[in-house]
Amino acid sequence: MATRKPKTTKILTVPCIHVKQEKHSFFLTKLDAKTITLLSYAAVRGQSAEEGAVQRVLNTSRIVNIKRFVMNGGNFPNAFVLNWVNTDQPLEFTDTDIDIPMVAQSAQIIDGQHRIAGIREAIQEDERWSKLEVPVVFYAGLGTQECADIFLSINTEQKPVPRSLVFDLYGVASAEIVDQAAERARDIVIFLNEDDDSPYKGQIKLPGAPTRRGGIALSTAVSAIKPLVEERGDFERIGVKELNMQKQIIMNLFTALSDKYGSKWWEKENAFMYAAGFTGAINFLQLKLFPYCNQRGSFTSKTIDESLNMPENRLIEQADLKSLGGTEATKRVYERLNEQFRPKVEAKDFEI
């Protein structure tokens, strides 16, 4: 893909470390953002017939998020992995240095295409990000199979961090790094777990906690609540933006439900002590109670309680969800709540 460089092409000489592994060697160095965006390109599998094409089509929303991450001062400690394919102007190296021909699109991206695209967008908006230093790994002349092996090793063998740990770390990470909606959802979940009056006191499973049956994983609870607290999300649409009000409305939902169960709320048969019950209840709040309570001008636990006809013989139990997968179990909880939803309709006199 790279064009033949003229004899006057600039050569960039940088220090490097030569790393030898079982099947291949590579060179580890650092480049500024302007240089890596110049040298690299993505060969998309299914769109490019060239050797080494293993990349996906770019995801615009990921690029926007990474651009924002860059401009908020985010760090990139993981190396960008490139495959040098410019055979007219190969890399040259010594024991300590590597000579890089400054020819555009000389290296395929094996790993890091969205990061590079996001950095490129940041540079276009503010030139100062062109000086951002990033670690880079250079392979040279790899074929499609070899690129695929490396790509799969990075993207499948190395498992992502558990979401519960990610959400827990949002409580201590820098403000510019975290997902603001997820952080707010986390604050609400921690409130449910710690408040003495909460029906979920001590029932949220945090990272490092002993394994046990029942309880709600932090990641499950945060993921369920997050759509409600996002910018232009459900709470914002009804004018509830203050954190304490959001906490109280969600608390009122579960207080109303726990009142229906009485002492049975804490028993292991209670479906709301599991992920499907918690998520199904939040979905019910979002789709049914938000419009209803907003119309009535009341989100109290009493208003919610009075809208549900849930006698003791119709309580939702974990046995009712037996053999159902996660999504289907959540849907079943929502459907059962909806079946018992009895919104009050106040008669109004109409002038004719």
66 and 195 inside one domain: no
- Quote the CA–CA distance of 321 and 332 in Å, as a whole number: 7
**Confidence at residue 225, expressed as pLDDT on a 0 to 100 scale:** 97
Residue 126 lies in a domain: yes
Shared domain for 118 and 215, answered yes or no, is no
Distance, in Å, from the CA atom of 185 to the CA atom of 204, rounded to the nearest integer, reads: 13
Last residue of a domain, one of 138, 157, 176: 157
Share of the chain above pLDDT 70, in %: 87
Q: Which pLDDT belongs to residue 141? A: 87
Contact 156, 100 (CB under 8 A): no
- Look over the chain and give the mean of its residue pLDDT values, rounded to a whole number: 87
Q: Domain check: are 302 and 172 in the same one?
A: yes
pLDDT for the residue numbered 147: 82
CA distance 27 to 97: 9
Residues 327 and 185 both lie in one domain = yes
- pTM of the full structure: 0.64
Separation in Å, CA 164 to CA 161, 171, 173, 205, 218: 8, 12, 14, 9, 5
The CA-atom distances, in angstroms, between 100 and each of 3, 53, 114, 273 are 15, 22, 23, 59
- Amino acid at residue number 193: N
My answer on whether 180 and 318 are in the same domain is: yes
Residue ranges for the chain with pLDDT beneath 50: 4-5
Q: Give the range of the structural domain holding residue 300, as residue numbers without chain letter.
A: 163-339
Residues 249 and 292 in one domain: yes
Task: Give the pLDDT confidence score for residue 157 in this predicted structure.
Answer: 57
Q: Residues 144, 218: one domain?
A: no
Q: Of 125, 157, 189, which residue sits at a domain end?
A: 157
Are 149 and 167 found together in one domain? no
